[in-house]
Amino acid sequence: MERIANTLDGLNAGVVSMVRWLAILMVLVQFAIVVGRYAFGLNSIAAQESVLYMHATFFMLGAGYTLLVDKHVRVDVFYARASDTVRRRIDIFGHLFFLMPSMVALIYWSWPSVRNSWRILEGPLSVGGIEAVFLLKSLIPAFCILVMLQSLACLLRLFMRAPR
């Protein structure tokens, strides 16, 4: 089980090692857009949309890693004061009854839109924009799959830590 959990961790770590560079690129592109607009009177809808695409990619594909390093948002009114055993039970319950089902539901309800977008190779959000909305929509199931795989890795570790 440890090997499987480590492999799943490695997948999300590998994905984030690629998408983390989008943060720097996003800042540089946004800076170029502002300089171009205010210093030279230039405007590009595609450049503006590229920031949106990078932002979406960065956050959607980085969500699994956020779960890996335990930096996700947690309402810990009770969790912070709980014993390790209670925390473990809360985590298992949360993964099995909240996280996994919500990711499955999100895939289920978004899939028709993603499929149709690929079928017609859906074009830009705005006139003159990037002609790849189908790629942007594909981030939704990718997000769900990466988060579910990381959730599985977390569950494996939680079960391995079970008191004997």
What's the number of domains the chain is made of? 1
Say how far apart CA 44 and CA 17 lie, in whole Å. 29
Domain hosting 30: range is: 2-160
For residues 29 and 47, the answer to whether their CB atoms sit within 8 Å is yes
b/e burial code for range 72-101 (CB count within 10 A of at least 16 → b): eeeeeeeeeeeeeeebbeebeeebeeebbe
**Tell me, what's the pLDDT at 78?**
83
Q: Indicate the pTM of the whole model.
A: 0.91
Positive or negative torsion for Cα 88, 58, 19, 102:
positive
How does pLDDT run along the chain (164 residues), one tens digit per residue?
A: 899 999 999 999 999 999 999 999 999 999 999 999 999 999 999 999 999 999 999 999 999 999 999 988 877 788 888 999 999 999 999 999 999 999 999 999 999 999 999 999 999 978 889 999 999 999 999 999 999 999 999 999 999 987 76
**Best CA proximity match to 90, nearest among 151, 158, 164:** 158
- Identify the three-state secondary structure at position 99: helix
**Tell me, what's the pLDDT at 125?**
79
